[in-house]
Structure 1
Amino acid sequence: MKKSLSLFVSILLVLVLALAGCSSTSSSNEKKSASSTSSKSMLETVKDRGKLKAGVNNSLPGFGYIDSDGKNSGFDVDIARAIAAGVLGDADAVEFRPLSATERFTAVQSKEVDVLVRNTTWTTNRDAEVGLSFAPVTFYDGQGIMVPKDSGIKTLKDLEGKTIGVETGTTTELNLADQMKAAGVNYTAQPYDNADAVIAAYESGSIDAWTTDKSGLVSRQSTLKDPDAHVILDATLSKEPLAPAVLDNDEKWKDAVSWVVYALIQAEEFGITSKNVDEFKTSDNPEIQRLLGVGDTNLGEQLGLSNDFAYQVIKQVGNYGEIYDRNLGPDTAFKLERGQNALYTDGGLLYSIPFR
């Protein structure tokens, strides 16, 4: 009897250990699978999906808005299309997600969008704490203030005791506080959930002025009932470097987005446009060959892209200057001068990291 009991216990022990081993192996495999999934770059995800999910503005004329044909248009929208062309070879392979200022960062963090191209300022906090990683600056801007032309307000000092509208979830309120404190001006900041609400309050006379990036002021001025009845003060309250943003800790994806931006800038410097890019493919200039992926170069492959990714970007969307002029330039309602957004060779801040 004792021998039978002992044998039973031994068999039971062996079975328990075997099951534990299976469970451990299963758990280990699950962990490996989860680790493999979590370590997958967004670049691979986008390529597997065959479509880019881009967070954009849909109510900022010139940058991100719905045009008369019901399509997403604007400077930022074209940057997103360029990313799609570089990554997927198709500028139209984009799903645009309209996002408010308060929604935009959560959308990146939750992977609702792959990239945010929505007039977003690159700041320390957003880089370090919000969990974003920024591509190169695509638009150098600065914060300004709009007032009625007949208000008599010409300087920050003239805003003493006035109420100024700001949009929540942006850098504008803190920038305004810093500058008004430095100028010794007492004022009231009136926050609103979105830019449309700020504009409505401003046009109704509920607030005396409103503030945002100067490009945004110019854009919104074109939508006012009487655009000429309003002016933008000369004062610039801050530096606002606007750049595409992706989820932090994914260097492959950030690199892919970044080098698309660099390709746009480098193409303009070389004078390569959507109309003449095919002619440049026969150039014997080694720098141009590397940019367009001609010959033995494999720079695209090093980035996880096709070697002709820059060619696809330029051919389908154009260079930086083409994008700027098409959406903001002299033939548009905004007529924005290039200023800091000109190439370094023309006195601006734009230049590309070498394609080498």
Structure 2
Amino acid sequence: MTNRFINAALVLMASLGLTTGANAGAILNAVKERGEVVCGINTGFVGFSMPDDRGEWRGLDVDFCRGLAAALFGDPSKVQFVPLTPSTRFTALTAGEVDVLFRNSTETMLRDVTLGLRAVTPYFYDGHTFMVSADSGVTKAAELDGATICLLQGTTNEQITADFFRKSNLGFTPVVFERSEQARDALDSGRCDSFGSDSGNLAAVRLSMRDPKAWSILDERFSKEPYGPYIRRGDDEWYDVIRWYVNAMFEAEENGITSENVEQIRATSADVGVKRLLGVTPELGEALGIGPAWVVNAVKAVGNYGEMFERHLGPNSKLGMSRSLNRQWTDGGLIYALPMR
């Protein structure tokens, strides 16, 4: 659709009294009036949300929160972090205790349609597997018949584990915990034979074990676990802001726009799409009801998607993960920016 038709549609919507980004919904208005965004994160997950030695939150999810604050207010510090467990994250969001969840939460149909919430858009792709003792000799999940398995309450991993063992006509005993560190301690003490979770979470848990080399993560994957932000239903404008903010971080990487060069590219690029993305022409920010430099401010604050991934999850980070499914689509991955026009 051309810009001429888009502008005509916006005029028609305004004449009919329909909502656009300039006429914000309740959540977006509340965030603007408060002057900060309240972001629900994990209580402790290396690479995604974990306090550093000074008590500062660090991780991919944390950076998404800070980048959102920068997009909205031009200041990445305009964010309040609320650590939430798997079993409290959705109730806290529903109750209005947080504005958005960036908390390694898998987007599923039932969560999206039955909880009064809205899954926005995936930003990380993972899969369920199991961690076992390296000297156990277990290399496939089918060899865990009769095992005691640590699981986290309120996660998709409970159902996935049960479904796998049922389908395979195998038996297991679940031991359910509220926090990863509780499951880690149970595994380390021998109370459980295995820990079933997403591979990224298991990699983080393994780092905190007394002897990380004593534990192996199976190569098999038993589910699709697309992590994405969640918001409450009923505010299309807030949904639009979160959805297109995440998409913009993908788009910045796709165009080679980084925290180091974003200002230079904004000042010199002749590319129409880049000028639109970076607010030289202001229609994207206007459509969302936020400032024209929203993408510039976000990328300056935390970098593009690739920079965030490499800093917290990549080969040179503590987790040492490859991009794998989280590569750009041009490199065989699933990270694909929708057209920002």
Q: How much does 1:210 deviate?
A: 0.7
Structure richer in helix, relative to its length: 1
Aligned to 2:272: 286
Aligned to 1:333: 318
Among 136, 158, 163, the residue aligned to 2:143:
158
Structure 1 runs not aligned, ≥5 long: 1-38
- Is 2:180–2:205's contact at 8 Å kept on the other side of the alignment? no
Among 168, 180, 191, the residue aligned to 1:206:
191
- Is 2:112–2:119's contact at 8 Å kept on the other side of the alignment? yes
Equivalent residues, number: 317
Please show how residues 63-212 of structure 1 align to structure 2 within 5 Å.
63-212=48-197
- Is 2:181–2:205's contact at 8 Å kept on the other side of the alignment? no
SS of match in other structure, 1:294: coil
Cα distance in 2, alignment partners of residues 194 and 222 from structure 1: 16
- Is 1:148–1:209's contact at 8 Å kept on the other side of the alignment? yes
In the TM superposition, structure 1's runs of 4+ consecutive aligned residues that sit over 4 Å from their partners are none
TM-score by length of 2: 0.91
Aligned to 2:261: 276
Q: How much does 1:237 deviate?
A: 1.4
Structure 2 runs not aligned, ≥5 long: 1-23
Residue identity over aligned pairs, in percent, reads 40
Aligned to 1:7: none
Among 295, 303, 315, the residue aligned to 2:300:
315
Aligned to 2:35: 50
Please show how residues 196-275 of structure 1 align to structure 2 within 5 Å.
196-275=181-260
Cα distance in 2, alignment partners of residues 85 and 41 from structure 1: 20
- Is 1:165–1:191's contact at 8 Å kept on the other side of the alignment? yes
The one-letter code sitting in structure 2 at the alignment partner of 1:93 is: K
Q: How much does 1:162 deviate?
A: 0.8
CA deviation digits over 1:14-57, x for unaligned, max 9? xxxxxxxxxxxxxxxxxxxxxxxxx9421111011001100101
Larger radius of gyration: 1
CA deviation digits over 1:115-166, x for unaligned, max 9? 0111101011110001111221110010110000011111122101111110
Cα distance in 1, alignment partners of residues 258 and 142 from structure 2: 46
SS of match in other structure, 1:163: strand
The one-letter code sitting in structure 1 at the alignment partner of 2:273 is: E
CA deviation digits over 1:267-313, x for unaligned, max 9? 00000000001111120100000100103x32111111111111111
The one-letter code sitting in structure 2 at the alignment partner of 1:321 is: G
CA deviation digits over 1:152-199, x for unaligned, max 9? 111122101111110111111110111112222111111112222111
Query: Quick one: higher RCO (CA 8 Å, sep 6+), 1 or 2?
Result: 2
Cα distance in 2, alignment partners of residues 209 and 44 from structure 1: 46
SS of match in other structure, 1:59: coil
Aligned to 2:339: 354
TM-score by length of 1: 0.87
The one-letter code sitting in structure 2 at the alignment partner of 1:293 is: G
What is the alpha-carbon root mean square deviation over aligned residues?
1.1
Q: Measured at CA, do residues 294 and 273 of structure 1 come closer, stay the same or move farther in structure 2, by a change above 3 Å? A: same
Cα distance in 2, alignment partners of residues 274 and 193 from structure 1: 37
Cα distance in 1, alignment partners of residues 334 and 31 from structure 2: 31
Q: How much does 1:212 deviate?
A: 0.8
